[in-house]
Each structure stands twice: as C-alpha cells, then as structure tokens.
Amino acid sequence: MVKRENTRTPVSQQPHIVDKPADTATIGGTISVEINEKKVTVPLGTTILEACRQNQIHIPTLCHHPDLCIAGVCRICVVDVEGMRTLQTACSFPITSPIKIRTSTPMVRKARRHIIDLLLSEHYGECYSCFRNGNCELQSLAKEYGVDSYTFGHVEKPRYEVDNSSASVIRDMSKCILCKRCVRTCIDLQEVGVLEAINRGHETHIGTFLDKPLADVICINCGQCINRCPTAALRANDPSDEIWAAIDDPQKHVVIQTAPSPRAAIGEEFGVEPGHSFTGELNTALKRIGFDKVFDTNFTADLTIIEEGTELLNRLKKAIVEKDESVKLPQFTSCSPGWVKFIEHFYPEYLDYLSTAKSPQQMFGAITKTFYAKEAGVDPADIVTVALMPCAAKKFECNRPEMNDSGFKDVDYGLTTREMAKMIKEAGIHLPEMPKSNFDDPFGEASGAGLIFGATGGVMEAALRTVYELVTGREVPFKNLVIEPCRGFEGIKQASVKLENCVEEYKFLEGVEVKFAVAHGTANAKKVMEMLRKGELVGYHFVEIMACPGGCLGGGGQPIPTSADIRKKRAEAIYAEEESLPIRKSHENPHVHYIYEKFLTEGPCSKLSHKLLHTHYTKRGKFIS
C-alpha cells in the first residue's frame, strides 16, 4: 500500500495509485492488454501511459511530469479504449482489466490536433523571440501533429502583463497553457504554495495570492516551477545583456566564478546525454567569451566548510564545555538561498539555528572585491563579478541589500546554467569541442569536497571530512573518503559518526556521537523543521538542507527537462569527477591556507571573516500584507 503523505492534495490531484502487487508472479499480479494489436503483460495498476512507454509506443503528454502527481487536465494523451464511450487519458488511466488500447486512430489524432489548436488559440506564440524556442513542449507538439493553420484563431497581442517584479522568476502568463505543473511543483513538491489557478473558465490564469506580484508574496525563488513548465510562461530573470555590456567595456574587469553543478549539466544544453562534466571545456569557453578571470566557486565552498565547521565546533564547545544553554543545536547549513528564504518565511523563530556563514557565491564576491582586487592591483569599483549558478534563488541572494560587505555589491550578477549556455552559443562556440583548460589563479584550485556541494548530502560529507579530521587527527573512517550515508536521493537521510581518540584541543568531544541529517527539497525541509519543533532533533548536531530536489544539481537554473533519472546521472558525473581530484578535503586546499595566512590572518570566525564571510537573516514571516 502506498502511503499518501500529502493528504492536503485534493483527491482530483492525487495520483491514481492502484496497489501494485508485490509479487507479480502470482495469479492476478499482472494483466495482459492489447496495445495496437500487440499483446503485452504489465503489473496490475500500471497506467496506459506507462504501459505504452515500456513498449516503445509514444504518447504525447503536457500536464504529465515524472516528478509530479497526475493531473489529467490537458487531455493531449488521449487514447482509444475499446468499449469506452469517449477517449481516455493515458496518463491517468490505471489498467485493471484486460483492455484493448489503440493509440493512433483517426479519432485520437483528430482529438489531439484539436486540443493543440485550442491551446494555440489562447497562447501568445512568438517563437522567434522566445527563450524556449527549440526546447518547448508546446512547440514540438505543434510540429509533431503538423499544425499548419490556426483552426480556432490565434492570439495577436499578449493577454497579460509580464510580472517581472521578482529578481529570480519572471512570469509571462500570455504563454501559459494552464497545465498546472507549476502549481503542483510549488504546492506538492516544494510545499511553498505560491501559485494556483485564479478565476474560472476563459479568465482562468495561474496567479498568486490576491494576484500580487511575485516579489510581494512568499516565493522562495527556487525556480523549480521554471524547470517543470512546458512553455516559456516561467523563466529566470536573465542578466546576460548586462554581462555582455560589462565584457565589452574595456574599463571593466569581469570575473566569473563557476559552481560545481552547472559543469555537470551544461552539456545537456548542447545535446550531450546527461551525466557528462565539461569543467575544462567550460573554462576555455568562458575565457574565449571574454571573461578576464575564471574562478572556481569550489574554492569558497572549501572556505565555507572551514568557516561553517569552525562555527559548529564553537557551538559544540559552548554547549558542552561552557554548558551554555542558549546555544542552538543542531546547526543548519545556510548555502542554499531558497532554503534561507524558506526558513525566513515559514520558521522565522528558528533563524538562530542557521549557520551565519554566507553561501560560497557570496563569500566569493566579498573576497574578489577585497583580497583579489588588492593582489591583482585592480580597483574594486571596476570589477564586475558574475556567478554561474544552477540556481534561480542566487539572483535574489546577490541582490539582498546586506550583501555589500566589500563596500560594493559583492556579486553583481547571478547567471543560470541555461543562460550561460545561451551566451556560449551566442559567441559561436560549441562547448563539447572546446579544448580543456584550468581555472585561473589565485583561486584556481579547489578540493573535491567543494565539488560535491552540488549534490544533496555533499556539504555534510565535505564538512564531516574536515571536522572529523580536525578533531581526531585522522581521516573519516569511510573507505576512499566516500561517506555513503550522505549519498543518494532519499528525502531525509540521518546518520552518525562517533568521535574517538580526539586531539588535545578537542578532548571535550571525546566519545561524542555526531548526529546529522540531510534533506533536499523544501517539502522535506518542512518535515525536518517539524521534527525540530517537536523536539525530535534533540541530540543532533548538524543538518544540511538544500531547497531543490536532488540538491544544486537539480536547481531551478539547470537545463530543462529534469527528472529523477537525469538528476541521478548529474550526481554520478559530480562524484566521478571528485574521485579523480588530487585534493579531496577542504582543509588541505593550499589556497585556503594562503588566504588565512595573507588576508584573514586571525583565522576562521574572526572579526574580519565575520565582516566578509558571515551574514545575518531577516524574520520575514508568512503573512502577506
């Protein structure tokens, strides 16, 4: 029996789950159906869509998405089931009897064509200037079904004003086809609940509470809705024109930092199968585009580990040695800006549990416009910092008013993987053909620990490698440094490591069982916060949370489409690259040592590092006024 956890979901939106028999060998466990005259046997309860896909029969879909519950609202997947009065939607039809299905009758084809024509009659199509041109599910269906005229008319002017209030997500409802994938993403997958269908009939549109601009409601900017929208109705706020202008301005020194996840996914934008990293190729392409320096965000990921790890050890010391009861444990990670905004809105009373360490992106910005500017002899006013991120929320993060600790806007632009691919194409470069090259110094080398930040559990794994070794003087007791309990895509992972034979400085931790938890996707984050509220996390020390399902590699700025399978392949690419790196622990990164020697001379969590590398949070609450 599949347990439905999300009981709030209306029955109409709940997946049609027929209990699939555990043992398909027993009589009644499977069922034989005929699809286009071919006999196939499938487990009882399989949907027609699944049965067809398993047998290489293509059925078009629009509202269906592998990450979301079934909606059955677009009707494009209709098929003919013998004996049924009307056509049936394949995506929401569970097979429970030996039916005969036909997927391409004249009636089916005509119905599908009509559905597309009807969608087009309300869709403001201007494919040339559309960011989904070439990667749009509506466009490709129109092609697939040979749409050659607008049977039911066509929209000449946009029906809605574009909502570009948000720093991260832009909504253009004139291109929306009301598939409600974004609604299901935001309510079910992320449990943020920003979007729903507003009004009725012809006036239906997807909107926010009181139809307010996105910036005025509780959107956490995760961009997961963008990744699941079949059309261009949702897109990220693209700063590439400003970046081109900076590159073309000889006065400006344009520096780009690249996060780990885009490398593992950008190939997909160039037609490469998911699961290939293009780190070296990307470096070359970025230099050819005209960036003055190409740095590795993993360097500040290492720095984050040192700062956040030190903060954790300080908290533990206060709690254990000084018996200070005001210390908040477990410490929560703070590198996911979607998660930060989520906790600011939904659990503002728990903000003290959040590490004060900035995200790697913001640390990089602050270091670039101070330390790097000095070392390189460039006026920080002339430096433009760009961050290549898998993330939509990073755009909001770099625009937070408090993020100017260098005296300037620390990070000028957050750029998504998709937007980067577009810039590379615009420069006439085919990424997979580029020769490989290294990152630029002084932040050119990073550890594998920084690289695995891209996958859920990665921050925890990186932190454990460093904290365990600092405390005990030995490597983590896991084969080849691979901390298995941190890996995989389970919603919430929990485990512990025992600290034994500690070095003198950390004797107070002798025998302590470090308990940690890892969660990804804000629906899981919510569960963890409820555990905290109920006191079920007493005795826990460290919790990693990423707002996006799968962690950053499934971020809202990553190539479209996304699915569990694609995310898994991206993770494999990251972990494979990690094992090939010479340095795999943050505290062994020589550049990290260098910066603490030359610049942050008082060490981690000192006054200067607090000024540049730590931040504070805003109690936002969820009341929308």
Partner 1 sequence: MLVLEKNALSEEIEQLVAKYGSDRSALIQILQAIQRKHKFISDFAQQEVARLLSIHPVEVYSVITFYSFLCSEPKGRNIVRLCKTISCDMAGKDAVEAAVKRELGISFGETTKDKRITLEYTNCLGMCDQGPAMLVNERVYTHLDPEKAVNILNEIK
Whole-angstrom CA distances from 23 to 44, 49, 53, 54, 352 are 11, 22, 22, 19, 49
Which secondary-structure segment (H or E) carries 517?
strand 513-520
Q: Which of the residues 162 through 191 are near ligand SF4 (CB under 6 A)?
A: 169, 175-182, 185-186, 190
Segment interacting with ligand SF4, rule: CB under 6 A, options 223-231, 290-298, 430-438, 472-480: 223-231
Under 8 Å between Cβ of 547 and 456: no
199 binds, options ligand SF4, partner 1, ligand FES, none, Cβ within 5 to 8 A by partner type: partner 1
Q: Which of ligand FES, partner 1, ligand SF4, none interacts with 455 (beta carbon under 5 to 8 A by kind)? A: none
Residue bearing tokens 């990307």: 282
501 binds partner 1 (CB under 8 A): no
Window 114-173: residues binding ligand SF4 (CB under 6 A):
123, 125-127, 130, 132-133, 136, 138-139, 169
**Judged by CB, which is closer to ligand FES: 49, or 518?**
49
For ligand FES, the closer CB: 70 or 246: 70
Nearest residue (CB) to ligand FES, 92 versus 279:
92
- Return the number of the residue (207 or 450) whose C-beta is nearest partner 1: 207
Which of partner 1, ligand SF4, ligand FES, none does residue 209 bind to, with CB < 5 to 8 Å depending on kind? Answer: partner 1
Q: CB under 5 to 8 A by kind: which of partner 1, ligand SF4, ligand FES, none does 180 bind? A: ligand SF4
- Specify the pairing of strand 331-332 against strand 383-389: unpaired
Beta bridge partners of 388: 258, 415
CB 61, min distance to ligand FES, A: 4
Beta bridge partners of 254: 384
How many angstroms separate the CA atoms of 197 and 532, rounded?
Answer: 33
CA atoms within 13 A on the CB side of 502: 16
Query: CA nearest 179: which of 91, 56, 48, 81?
Result: 91
Select from 132-140, 209-217, 308-316, 610-618 the region that touches partner 1 (CB under 8 A). Answer: 209-217
| Total of chain residues touching ligand SF4, rule CB under 6 A | 39
Q: Which stretch binds partner 1 (CB under 8 A): 121-129, 188-196, 428-436, 472-480?
A: 188-196
- Strands 413-416 and 383-389, by their bridges, are parallel
**Looking up tokens 């399978």, which residue turns up?**
565
Give the binding site for ligand FES (CB under 6 A).
Answer: 61-64, 72-77, 89, 91
Closer residue to ligand SF4 (CB): 345 or 369: 345
What's the Cα-to-Cα distance from 59 to each of 51, 78, 108, 118, 565, rounded to whole Å?
Answer: 10, 8, 11, 19, 20
Decide if residue 71 touches ligand SF4 (CB under 6 A).
no
Residue type, 108: V
Handedness of CA 229, 231, 232, 238 (dihedral sign): positive
Kindly indicate which of the ranges 88-96, 216-224, 279-287, 562-570 contains the residues binding ligand SF4, using the contact rule CB under 6 A: 216-224
Measured in whole angstroms, how far is the alpha carbon of residue 165 from the centre of its chain?
21
Task: Single out the residue of 66, 65, 61, 156 nearest to residue 115, CA to CA.
Answer: 61
The nearer residue to ligand FES, 91 or 169, going by C-beta atoms, is: 91
**10 part of the interface to partner 1, by CB under 8 A:** yes
Choosing among ligand FES, ligand SF4, partner 1, none, which partner's interface includes residue 623 (Cβ < 5 to 8 Å by kind)?
Answer: partner 1
User: Which residues belong to the active site?
Assistant: 308, 311, 335, 355, 394, 397, 402, 552
193 binds partner 1 (CB under 8 A): yes
Smallest Cα–Cα separation from 342: which of 519, 236, 218, 195?
218
Could you tell me if 494 and 527 are in contact, meaning their C-beta atoms sit under 8 angstroms apart? Answer: no
Distance of alpha carbon 69 from alpha carbon 288, whole angstroms:
44
Strand order in the sheet with 78-81: 38-43, 30-35, 100-102, 78-81, 88-89
Smallest separation (angstroms) from ligand FES to the CB of 49: 7
Half-sphere exposure of 368 (CA within 13 A, CB side): 36
C-beta closer to ligand FES: residue 189 or 220: 189
Q: Is 623 in the site for partner 1 (CB under 8 A)?
A: yes
Smallest distance from ligand FES to CB 77, Å: 3
- Residue from the set 51, 192, 452, 512 that interacts with ligand SF4 by CB under 6 A: 192
Q: Which does 10 bind (CB under 5 to 8 A by kind): ligand FES, ligand SF4, partner 1, none?
A: partner 1
SS3 418: helix
Is the peptide bond prior to 66 cis by the omega test (within 30 degrees of 0)? no
Interstrand relation of 542-546 and 513-520 (parallel, antiparallel or unpaired): parallel
CB of 194 to partner 1, least distance (A): 6
If 0-12 CB within 10 Å is exposed, 13-18 middle and 19+ buried, where does residue 9 land? middle
The residue within the footprint of partner 1, chosen from 86, 105, 199, 501 (CB under 8 A), is: 199
Can residue 223 be called a binding residue for ligand SF4 (CB under 6 A)?
yes
- Residue nearer to ligand SF4 on the CB measure, 239 or 448: 239
Contact between 232 and ligand SF4 (CB under 6 A)?
A: yes
DSSP collapsed to 3 states, 462-493: HHHHHHHHHHHCCCCCCHHHCCHHHCCCCCEE
Q: Is 217 in the site for partner 1 (CB under 8 A)?
A: yes
β-bridge partners, 295? 257
**Shortest CB 561 distance to ligand FES, Å:** 14
Beta strands in 339-453 (DSSP E): 383-389, 413-416
**Which CB sits closer to ligand SF4, 167 or 512?**
167
Minimum separation from the CB atom of position 54 to ligand SF4 (A): 26
Of the ranges 2-10, 220-228, 366-374, 453-461, which one interacts with ligand SF4 (CB under 6 A)? 220-228
Please say which residue, 11 or 22, places its beta carbon nearer to partner 1. Answer: 11
Residues that bind partner 1 (CB under 8 A): 8, 10, 187, 192-200, 207-210, 217, 623-625
Residues that bind ligand SF4 (CB under 6 A): 123, 125-127, 130, 132-133, 136, 138-139, 169, 175-182, 185-186, 190, 192, 194-195, 206, 219-225, 229-234
